[in-house]
Copies of this chain bind each other. A is one copy, B any other.
């Protein structure tokens, strides 16, 4: 029986894991310098070509940034890939040079309905954090954020001042995520959503549902409602 134990991993994979684990655990933080190739050579007792491959691949994958003559550094958290990058809506809007504002409608600690619970894979006895925030671009509502947060992963979320910090900002600062799932669909909004987004009768709504994981636990489940006439998702890619 052939097991993929750590012991039989190729050396360059071990080095990659060594570095990734330090980033995940927080021992290595963004901007921080990692050991040089020659230091890693000494640490592992392997050749520099092998270390080089490990570090180069992590760089290609976006975890590290290298600067010849200076060193190798942990990259800023990258949470994108795929069309659906995980961004802060506030950053996005200000990046367009537009005015951003938001209104925190709810921020509480609730026992969620069963459909939410099942999506978060938490037991019915566990209350979860919840918030409902309306985001404005140029004073026009552009996103309604209905978010559920797992208190096991983010125990401090209840005491965050969401008027000063966006959920994104807080969650990213506390724990880097490792997995995400997106579902995009078009819906006819319920009246409450329609009212919030100032949609006319019959106008459609783009719903983006996102689940993120931290250490194999669902960290958050969020429903992002967007006004159909004023919002679209765009994605480009070129190869080579």
Contact = CB atoms under 8 A, between A and B. Distances in A.
A204 B233 contact: no
A204 B232 contact: no
Contact of A228 (B20, B178, B185, B237): B185
A100 to B, nearest CB: 21
A236 B179 contact: yes
Interface in A146-167: none
For the side of the interface on A, what is the size category?
Answer: 35 or more
A45 interface: no
A64 B140 CA distance: 48
A84 interface: yes
Nearest to A228: B186
Contacts of A181: 234-236
Interface in A207-240: 207, 226, 228-229, 231-240
Q: How many copies of the shown chain assemble into the complex?
A: 2
A179 B239 CA distance: 6
Contact of A186 (B49, B180, B205): B205
A181 B235 CA distance: 6
Nearest to A239: B178
Interface string A35-64: 000000000000001000000000011000
A185 B233 contact: yes
A81 B60 CA distance: 15
A203 interface: yes
Contacts of A187: 186, 204, 228-229
A202 interface: yes
A236 B83 CA distance: 11
B240 A228 contact: no
18 contacts: A82-B235, A83-B184, A178-B239, A179-B237, A181-B235, A184-B184, A184-B235, A185-B228, A185-B232, A186-B205, A186-B226, A186-B231, A187-B204, A187-B228, A188-B228, A202-B202, A204-B204, A206-B206
Given A178-B239, A184-B234, 7 more contacts: A49-B49, A178-B238, A179-B239, A181-B235, A185-B228, A186-B204, A187-B228
